[in-house]
Amino acid sequence: MSDFPIEPWQVREHGLDLDRLARSESVFALSNGHIGLRGNLDEGEPFGIPGTYLNSFYELRPLPYAEVAYGYPESSQTVANVTNGKLIRLLVNDSPFDVRYGRLLEHERVLDFRAGTLTRYADWESPAGHRVRVRSTRLVSLTQRAIAAIEYSVEAVDGPVRLVVQSELVANEPTPTRSGDPRVAAALDHPLDAIAQEVRDDGATLVHRTRVSGLLMAASMNHLVEAPGPVNVDTSSADHWARTTFVCTLAPGQRLRLVKLLAYGWSGLRSESALCDQVAAALTRARHTGFDGLRAEQRSYLDDYWAGADVVVEGDPQLQQSVRFALFHVLQAAARAERRCLPAKGLTGPGYDGHTFWDTEAYLLPMLVFVQPHTVADALRWRHSTLDLARERAAALGLRGAAFPWRTIRGQECSGYWPAGTAAFHVNADIAAAVALYRAVTGDETLEAEAGLELLAETSRLWMSLGHHDSDGVWHITGVTGPDEYTAIINDNLFTNLAAAHNLRDAADAAQRHPDRARDLGITPAEIAAWRAAAEAVHVPYDGRLRVHQQSEGFTRLPEWDFDASREKYPLLLHAPYFDLYRKQVVKQADLLLAQYWFGHLFDDDDKARNVDYYERRTVRDSSLSAAIQAVTAAEVGHLGLAYDYTYEAAQIDLLDIDHNSGDGLHIASLAGVWTALVAGFGGLRHRDGVLCLAPQLPVGIHRLAFTVRWRGMRLGVDIDPQRVTYTLHDGPDGPDATLSLRHNGRTVTVSTAEPAVETLIRRRPLLPRPAQPPGRRPRAHRSWLDQPAS
- Shortest distance, CB of residue 663 to its own copies, whole angstroms? 19
> How far is residue 107's CA from residue 221's CA, in Å, rounded to a whole number?
27
Min CB(769)–its own copies separation in Å: 23
State whether residue 389 is helix, strand or coil: helix
319: which residues sit within 8 A by CB, 6+ positions away? Answer: 313, 647, 648, 651, 702, 782
Residue tagged active-site, from 125, 485, 553, 616: 485
Least distance to its own copies, CB of residue 101, Å: 39
Instruction: In angstroms, give the least distance from the CB of 658 to its own copies.
Output: 21
| C-beta neighbour count of 563 within 10 angstroms | 18
Smallest gap from Cβ 661 to its own copies, in A, equals: 15
Closest CA relative to residue 366, chosen from 417, 431, 423, 317? 431
485 included as an active-site residue: yes
Residue 606's CB: how many other CB atoms inside 10 A? 12
- Residue among 482 and 638 whose Cβ is closer to its own copies: 482
Give the residue among 734, 706, 704 at the shortest CA–CA distance from 719.
706
Q: Which is nearer to its own copies, 398 or 735 (CB)?
A: 398
Name residue 481's amino acid: T
Q: Peptide bond preceding 571: is omega within 30 degrees of 0, i.e. cis? A: yes
Integer CA distances (angstroms), 442 to 33, 377, 510, in order:
22, 10, 15
Closest separation in Å from C-beta 542 to its own copies: 16
Q: Answer yes or no: are the C-beta atoms of 521 and 510 closer than 8 Å.
A: no
Closer to its own copies by Cβ: residue 18 or 68? 68
Between CA 480 and CA 358 the distance in angstroms is: 15
Instruction: Compare residues 76 and 460 and give the one whose CB is closer to its own copies.
Output: 76
Strand ranges, E, within 281-353: 311-314
The candidate with the shortest Cα–Cα distance to 249, out of 330, 173, 316, 154, is 154
d(CA 245, CA 53): 25
Shortest spacing between CB 420 and its own copies, in angstroms: 8
Alpha carbon 165 to chain centroid, angstroms = 35
Q: How would you class 123 by CB atoms within 10 Å of its CB: exposed for 0-12, middle for 13-18, buried for 19 or more?
A: middle
If the CB atoms of residues 358 and 603 are measured against its own copies, the closer one turns out to be: 358
**Torsion angle, alpha carbons of 165, 168, 173, 174, to 10:** -10
Q: Residue 716 CB, nearest distance to its own copies (Å)?
A: 43
For residues 116 and 325, what is the distance between their CA atoms, to the nearest angstrom?
11
Nearer to its own copies, 337 or 558 (CB): 558
Nearer to its own copies, 63 or 540 (CB): 63
Binding site for its own copies (CB under 8 A): 63-72, 76, 180, 182, 396-399, 415-419, 422-423, 468, 470, 476, 478-480, 488-489, 491, 553-554, 557-559, 573-580, 582-584
Q: Output 580 or 759, the one with its CB closest to its own copies.
A: 580
Among the listed residues 182, 136, 115, 184, the one whose alpha carbon sits nearest the alpha carbon of residue 349: 184
708: closest CA among 365, 321, 298, 327? 327
Asked if residue 186 lies in contact with residue 49, where contact means CB atoms within 8 angstroms, the answer is: no
One-letter amino acid for residue 463 of the chain = W
Q: Which residues are catalytic?
A: 485
